[in-house]
Amino acid sequence: MTFDLVLAGGRVVDPSQSIDRVADVAFTDGKVAAVGEGLSASARAVHDCAGRLVTPGLIDLHTHVYWGGTSLGVDAPALARSGAVTTFVDTGSAGPGNFAGFRRHVVEPSPVRIIPLMSVSFAGIYAFSKRVNVGESGDQRLLSAPAALEVALANRDVLGGLKVRVGRNAGGTSGIVPLDIARQVADAAGMMLMVHIDEPPPTLAEVLERLRPGDILTHAFRPFPNTPVTADGRVRPEVREARARGVVFDIGHGMGSFAFSVGRTMLENGFPPDCISSDVHTLCIEGPAFDLLTTMSKFLCIGMPLTEVIRAATDNPARALTRPDLGTFRTGAAGDASVLSLDEGRFDYVDSTGAHLAGEQRLSAKATIIGGAVFHAN
């Protein structure tokens, strides 16, 4: 068999198949064809990956990539080149009132995969900038369950689920009401729901009790208030109960939603995140989040094992999206891969509270493979 492309001689780390060894990865017709040794002899093109990590295409489960259509949108292809992400999950940038434009002008023509989660707020996240910041969940006139359901059902073929933002910043004094409306829409549509939480109201407990198996809590390792840890360094009981019933815990670093102290405490308590994501947007792309690889590197530096960090950006988000074709090198899966360097040195990291960490490791992008072809190589 002749392969279109072989990534040769890298350390292949595919947690979905418990693979961690030096091997080749081959692609044919835009799909994964094989993982093994000596595959480059049968390849039309070979990309030398010696000394590099080769992972299934990275999935950033929380981004904002409605570039040009919202004030917080960043450019997905540019991030794919610089950060080796092959799938961007846009989390609520567009709502029922502007989803058609997002789909036609950004999602469909994009050379990289974008999976939208539609906001239940009519205009999505429409006023998020350095000068104007109006939480879309604060005006309940924008929360039309019938409108959200109609558009969600009409776009089921591209949607990964729904999104709602609750908390004082996103919803003012609306409290839990936006989530209750979103809950109705998600149940009627039969879709997963991702929930953003910031400062109360509502409380973390009120949010978690409304989440179903498969729903995602993002900003799950946020600092006080609404933090998942207690003052004496334990994981809150309602957090453990939510995971036990199948709620997915996602990082969503962003501008204000991840603290090193919380991350360390959660890891010490045996509660790693299910998914690591950046929540990259215009206000955090130059720090503190930067991108997915930076967020992954932070978890490496606070003690999360490399294989588990990679799992949290490949296999686990693919499972959360119910996309078995993503986040894996199984034969026939999407032909996406991320070629990375694991650098050693002294690297300064900062979290959303302004705390600094002197880390000794950093993941950096060396090549992005999309659809079985090299999309970009450094």
- 3-state SS class at 208: helix
Residue 244: predicted pLDDT = 98
Domains annotated on the chain, with CATH: 5-55+332-342+361-377 (2.30.40.10), 58-320 (3.20.20.140)
Residue 88: predicted pLDDT = 99
Using an 8 Å Cβ cutoff, are 73 and 65 in contact?
A: yes
Residue tagged 């109609």 (tokens): 150
Using an 8 Å Cβ cutoff, are 195 and 229 in contact?
A: no
CA 36 to chain CA centroid, nearest Å? 29
Per-chain mean pLDDT for the chain: 98
User: Is it true that the peptide bond before 288 is cis, omega within 30 degrees of 0?
Assistant: yes
Which of 194, 255, 200 has its CA nearest to residue 224?
200
Residue 54: predicted pLDDT = 99
Residue 1: predicted pLDDT = 84
Residue tagged 């499972």 (tokens): 319
> Quick one: 266 exposed, middle or buried, by C-beta within 10 A (0-12, 13-18, 19+)?
buried
C-alpha separations of 81 from 57, 74, 291, 364 in Å:
12, 13, 12, 11
* Residue at 178: amino acid letter: P
* Residue at 326: amino acid letter: L
Please tell me the distance from the alpha carbon of residue 52 to that of residue 339, in angstroms, as a whole number: 7
- The conformation of residue 57, written as its DSSP 8-state character, comes to P
Residue 219 labeled ligand binder? yes
Residue 48 labeled ligand binder? no
Rounded (10°) CA dihedral 358, 10, 57, 353:
0
Helix axes 260-268, 292-301, angle to 10 degrees: 50
Residue 253 labeled ligand binder? no
Residue 163 labeled ligand binder? yes
CA 60 to chain CA centroid, nearest Å? 3
Please tell me the distance from the alpha carbon of residue 331 to that of residue 33, in angstroms, as a whole number: 5
Please tell me the distance from the alpha carbon of residue 292 to that of residue 288, in angstroms, as a whole number: 11
Q: What is the pLDDT of residues 326-362, one digit of tens each?
A: 999 999 999 999 999 999 999 999 999 999 999 999 9
Q: Which residues contact 131 (CB under 8 A, 6 or more apart)?
A: none
Which of 325, 337, 307, 330 has its CA nearest to residue 35?
330
Q: What is the pLDDT of residues 101-148, one digit of tens each?
A: 999 999 999 999 999 999 999 999 999 999 999 999 999 999 999 999
The residue ranges of the chain whose pLDDT is under 70 are: none
* Residue at 327: amino acid letter: G
Residue 29 labeled ligand binder? no
Residue 279 labeled ligand binder? yes
For the whole prediction, is pTM greater than 0.75?
Answer: yes
Residue 136: predicted pLDDT = 96
